Amino acid sequence: MKNNPRLVLVLGDQLTLEGAALRAADKARDVVVMAEVRAETDYVGHHKQKIALVFSAMRHFAETLRAEGWQVAYTALEDAGNSGSITGELLRRAEEFGAKSAVTIAPGEWRLRQALEDCPIPVVQLPDDRFLCSEAEFADWAKGRKSLRMEYFYREMRRKTGLLMEGDAPEGGKWNYDAENRKPAQADLFRVKAPQFASDEVTREVLDLVAREFADNFGGLEGFNWAVDRAGALEALDHFIAHNLADFGTYQDAMLEDDPLLYHSLLSPYLNLGLLGPLEVCQAAARAYAAGDVPLNSAEGFIRQIIGWREYVRGIYFHEGPDYTSRNHLDQHRKLPWAYWGGETKMNCLSHAVAQTRDLAYAHHIQRLMVTGNFALLAGVDPAQVQEWYLAVYIDAFEWVEAPNTAGMSQFADGGVIASKPYVSSGAYIDRMSDYCGSCAYSVKAKTGEGACPFNLLYWHFLDRNREKFANNPRMAVIYRSWDKRKPEDRETILGQAEVMLNKIAQDAF
């Protein structure tokens, strides 16, 4: 047995050879520990494809590590002796190899960080330098600011990375080209489809395992089409840059019934697992712009999502602390409708967004924000239930990225840490950006009445019941003035019909 080995814990979202823990380890002495455990699969009911992707990517990465000369102690879910938790596996491997301590990259959840702090053997948690902004740097940026708006953080990240910069000025003279990125899309039979990733023997074994062990979890496995190693992730990146980035910006907010992917990259799972790095992805987009292959609005919009939004929400999650996920600024306590788990609803947009999520473990940011998120917020759903749903059903959901997007951006549960106003809309926005409304049982044009779009009724009910919280918000003053100009009897009709709709939602009959 080697003298004084140390355990090197590699979690399922830390799959990079350049990770801080591996850099700090001694390949000739230390033992890499990787484990598929029930504590991580079961704390929420993860989508079947999410479990399959993480397990397959872990198994492939373990083989990469062995090929690089590392000793890897890998625990598969069904292995005899599997303790069922990360800390349990560390203790088991410590006894097996005579190790007295462990090192890892600090996990992306407060829950796991606390578990490792409480582990009976010392576990050094190194800062996760796969991100471009450290937790300490974000804290310095946030210090003394009255508001923590992403736009100003994003500008600092542009300066730091030099991406799309001309000296100290932004490329093209503007920091943000979002105004050009809000066009609806049309059906197109010639739109390039996503690359196909054939399942190898390892992935097929994992898919069989997940089908057997997680039969009752949300989602199907038939549509599994995800890269499970770095080579596949790089192929997905190359495909996006070559075929989709040019039109990504213009149509990034669009939604179509029969084209769930449009021009989106589908790279977020690979970034969040560690198979791709944020800088290499952004540099690829910047090179495509510099070569004249893509317009500035698309390159900038894509890069902003990564060095702006992705880095920003992680900063918010750790800056705000462990209680962030429990906040409920609007005091909302209704249950999440069964329609979110595939139950019947006459709302075409919600039905399509959920069905797509069930089949692909994926929906793009506007479907999440302005369909499922918007509806939950208007309907008064408990934000903790909404957060648990997003964390469970999406292939790219880990708490550091999911919680701020849900509690902050989507549900306004944090009281405005992220968003300056709640992201709510009537049905008109969805009608403008999608083809969902044309075949819906509800009428998006009807403001009241039996067939009125639920978004139209709930929008005004939400604003009315939260007036005390938003009346002094300058971005919402014009909306309240419009509401106040309505005849009292019209307001009463809308609010009364909205109450009826809320009761239908509570009964899962809408």
Sign (positive or negative) of CA dihedral 243, 247, 249, 254: negative
* Distance, C-alpha 328 to centroid of its chain: 20
Contacts of 136 (CB under 8 A, 6+ apart): 127
pLDDT interval class at 496 (50, 70, 90): very high
Count Cβ atoms below 10 Å from residue 4 Cβ, excluding itself.
12
Count Cβ atoms below 10 Å from residue 67 Cβ, excluding itself.
8
Contacts of 223 (CB under 8 A, 6+ apart): 49, 359, 360
Q: From CA 306, how far away is CA 301, in angstroms rounded?
A: 9
Residue 5 above 80 pLDDT?
Answer: yes
* Mean pLDDT value across residues 306-311: 98
Residue type, 22: L
Residues 131, 137, 143: CA angle, nearest 5 degrees: 140
pLDDT tens, residue by residue, 81-113:
999 999 999 999 999 999 999 999 999 999 999
Residue type, 2: K
Q: From CA 245, how far away is CA 236, in angstroms rounded?
A: 12
Q: From CA 375, how far away is CA 78, in angstroms rounded?
A: 40
Length of the chain: 510
Q: From CA 10, how far away is CA 32, in angstroms rounded?
A: 7
In the three-class reduction of DSSP (H, G, I as helix; E, B as strand; rest coil), residue 124 is classed as strand
CB neighbour burial string for 265-279, b if at least 16 within 10 angstroms, e if fewer? bbbbbbbbbbbbbbe
Tell me, what's the pLDDT at 4? 84
Count Cβ atoms below 10 Å from residue 6 Cβ, excluding itself.
21
Residue 210 above 70 pLDDT?
Answer: yes
- Nearest alpha-carbon partner for 448 in 388, 501, 372: 501
Q: What is the DSSP letter of 321?
A: -
Residue 1 above 60 pLDDT?
Answer: no
* Mean pLDDT value across residues 469-488: 94
Tell me, what's the pLDDT at 481? 95
Q: From CA 472, how far away is CA 494, in angstroms rounded?
A: 23
DSSP string, 230-265: HHHHHHHHHHIIIIIHHHHHHHTT-B-TT-SSTT--
* Mean pLDDT value across residues 49-64: 98
With 0-12 / 13-18 / 19 or more C-beta atoms within 10 angstroms meaning exposed / middle / buried, residue 166 is: exposed
Q: From CA 463, how far away is CA 60, in angstroms rounded?
A: 50
Q: Tokens 């089949």: give the residue.
A: 359
What does pLDDT average to over the chain? 97
Kind and range of the H or E element at 296?
helix 296-303
pLDDT interval class at 189 (50, 70, 90): confident
pLDDT interval class at 2 (50, 70, 90): low
Domains and CATH numbers, the chain: 7-126 (3.40.50.620), 135-198+227-319 (1.25.40.80), 338-506 (1.10.579.10)
Q: What percent of the chain has pLDDT over 70?
A: 100
Q: From CA 239, how far away is CA 249, in angstroms rounded?
A: 16
Sign (positive or negative) of CA dihedral 408, 414, 417, 423: positive
pLDDT tens, residue by residue, 344-399:
999 999 999 999 999 999 999 999 999 999 999 999 999 999 999 999 999 999 99
